[in-house]
Structure 1
């Protein structure tokens, strides 16, 4: 396997699922859909993807190959996916708090 493909295998295999999660994050809640909200969502998704790639690289380098050739990929995929979800979860709570603050707490 090509070293470039091997290093990015988790991203290649998870990209469709990350796209689904990213689309759900982008689409919900439907309102308010302001320019600032779209900008916030785009930055959050870019940060989540960057964190995925960084965690993937870290885990590939950290994994002990004594457990087998596949172990680094398993660890990298698990860690990177968890980091992606963590960044999106934090963004959901920050966005919710920010949106509540903008409309005076009228929406609950």
Structure 2
């Protein structure tokens, strides 16, 4: 019989959706295997922002957690989902850009 899981590493009980820690609206950017080649496969998606202690200023999202969409960038409702052994971001649904999106992008440049 396997040992019981350590505290804090419990998966969601069968039949229940995983716990969502946080939600936000983010602009995902597609990163392809060959830059500029629209027929190449998607390696991952990114959106600005990460933990302060991290060495990267973007957060990475696996392609399996993002629904199909046209183009290289799109806005999504993102959910930080509890997982074992670590949490992960997933795109819940595609949304319209927030009203402040244009001003935020100009301020970052």
TM-score, with length taken from structure 1: 0.21
Q: Which has the higher strand share?
A: 2
Q: Which has the higher helix share?
A: 1
TM-score, with length taken from structure 2: 0.20
